[in-house]
């Protein structure tokens, strides 16, 4: 048994489960980047176009950034 197999065996991970965590990070990263793009660029542009006040725009931006941090 090689050292890689021994360390995986001792930690209880198989080669399939050891690599599966990397594939679940990409969707979360893309979703977080989408929230950041929406809160920094799209939200102020739409708010200005619609005529929302700056206070409401800042509140919506904060809500989007909190949602991005939870992802």
CA distance 57 to 3: 55
| Average pLDDT of the chain, as a whole number | 75
pLDDT tens for residues 4-30?
455 445 555 555 544 555 678 898 888
Regarding pTM above 0.75, the answer is no
Of residues 2 and 35, more confidence is placed in 35
Is residue 50 predicted with pLDDT exceeding 90? yes
Q: So where are the chain's domains?
A: 23-71
> In the structure, how many helices (H) and strands (E) does the chain have?
4, 0
Is residue 58 predicted with pLDDT exceeding 60? yes
Torsion of the alpha carbons at 52, 53, 56 and 59, rounded to the nearest 10: 120
CA distance 14 to 8: 6
């Amino acid at each position: 048994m090689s050292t890689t197999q021994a360390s995986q065996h001792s930690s209880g991970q198989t080669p399939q489960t050891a690599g599966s965590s990397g594939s679940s990070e990409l969707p979360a990263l893309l979703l977080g980047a989408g929230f950041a793009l929406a809160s920094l660029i799209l939200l102020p542009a739409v708010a200005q176009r619609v005529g929302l006040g700056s206070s409401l725009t800042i509140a919506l931006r904060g809500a989007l950034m909190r949602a991005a941090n939870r992802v």
